[in-house]
């Protein structure tokens, strides 16, 4: 397993945009932490930003897959169907765990809002985060095989969802009646489902060429 992680890191460094992706992922991660702390659950945007590095890491493997060394290698299939998930699976669960428990903590402390509204807002955040992570993980696998269609579907679903999460009082009565521990558990299931669907899509379509628009993004300025 240790050797597999070493191989995964080596593969990521073969991507033509390795340094740029690392820088961008770091920026999104730091910005996500700042936004999440500043918003205190009023929007899920910061949490989504924290998950962007998982998507960036996936792109690194697709970039490495286009390397001449990998194209002629017997491990080419594993560069898309195995190695990416050695990184994205632990990252996704660790990031979700930290965010979920942080917002569970926020639901129990004093705030300008009423105790009931604060609790409901944090429950809503946890549900929204789990669903958005699921969508991000599925999109990260689908966009490389069908960029336009997957992006259109992603935008149609995600923008309204983020909009709902940014409304302080929308659906608070519903979420206020939910158990936050149940919400966290369902969030874990949503993250797991996103990872399983991402793996499934990758395995089903790994033999197809990368979408031309996605390829431009991967190889641009290489």
Among 8-17, 27-36, 157-166, 198-207, name the most confident range: 27-36
Give the phi and the psi of residue 209 in degrees, each rounded to 5: -65, 150
The residue among 93, 90, 113, 91 whose CA lies nearest residue 101 is: 93
The residue among 58, 44, 21, 30 whose CA lies nearest residue 139 is: 58
Q: What is the mean pLDDT of residues 38-67?
A: 84
How many domains are there within the chain? 1
> Residue 119: which pLDDT band, with cuts at 50, 70 and 90?
confident
Q: What is the mean pLDDT of residues 44-63?
A: 87
Give the phi and the psi of residue 79 in degrees, each rounded to 5: -65, -20
DSSP assignment string, 15-56? STTHHHHHHHHHHHHHHHHHHHHHHTTS-SHHHHHHHHHHHH
Q: What share of the chain has pLDDT > 70, as a percent? A: 76
Residue 116 has pLDDT above 50, yes or no: yes
61-84 pLDDT per residue, tens: 877 776 655 666 667 778 778 888
**How many contiguous H segments (helices) and E segments (strands) does the chain have?**
11, 0
163-219 pLDDT per residue, tens: 666 665 555 556 656 788 999 999 999 999 999 999 998 888 776 666 555 555 555
DSSP assignment string, 84-127? HHHHHHHHHHHHHHHHHHHHHHHTTS--SS-HHHHHHHHHHHHH
Which domain, by its residues, includes 46? 2-219
Residue 221 has pLDDT above 50, yes or no: no
């Amino acid at each position: 397993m240790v050797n597999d992680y070493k191989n995964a890191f080596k593969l990521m460094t073969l991507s033509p945009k390795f340094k740029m992706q690392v820088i961008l992922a770091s920026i999104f991660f730091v910005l996500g932490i700042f936004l999440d702390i500043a918003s205190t659950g009023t929007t899920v945007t910061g949490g989504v930003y924290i998950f962007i590095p998982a998507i960036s890491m996936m792109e690194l493997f697709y970039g490495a897959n286009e390397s001449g060394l990998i194209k002629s290698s017997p491990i080419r299939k594993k560069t898309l169907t195995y190695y990416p998930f050695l990184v994205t699976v632990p990252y996704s669960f660790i990031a979700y765990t930290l965010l979920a428990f942080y917002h569970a903590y926020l639901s129990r402390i004093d705030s300008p809002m009423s105790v009931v509204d604060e609790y409901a807002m944090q429950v809503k955040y946890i549900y929204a985060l789990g669903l958005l992570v699921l969508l991000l993980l599925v999109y990260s696998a689908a966009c490389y095989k069908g960029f336009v269609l997957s992006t259109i579907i992603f935008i149609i679903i995600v923008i309204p969802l983020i909009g709902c999460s940014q409304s302080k009082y929308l659906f608070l009565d519903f979420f206020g009646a939910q158990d936050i521990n149940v919400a966290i558990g369902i969030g874990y299931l949503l993250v797991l489902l996103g990872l399983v669907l991402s793996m499934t899509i990758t395995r089903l379509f790994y033999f197809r060429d990368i979408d031309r628009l996605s390829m431009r993004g991967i190889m641009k300025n290489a």
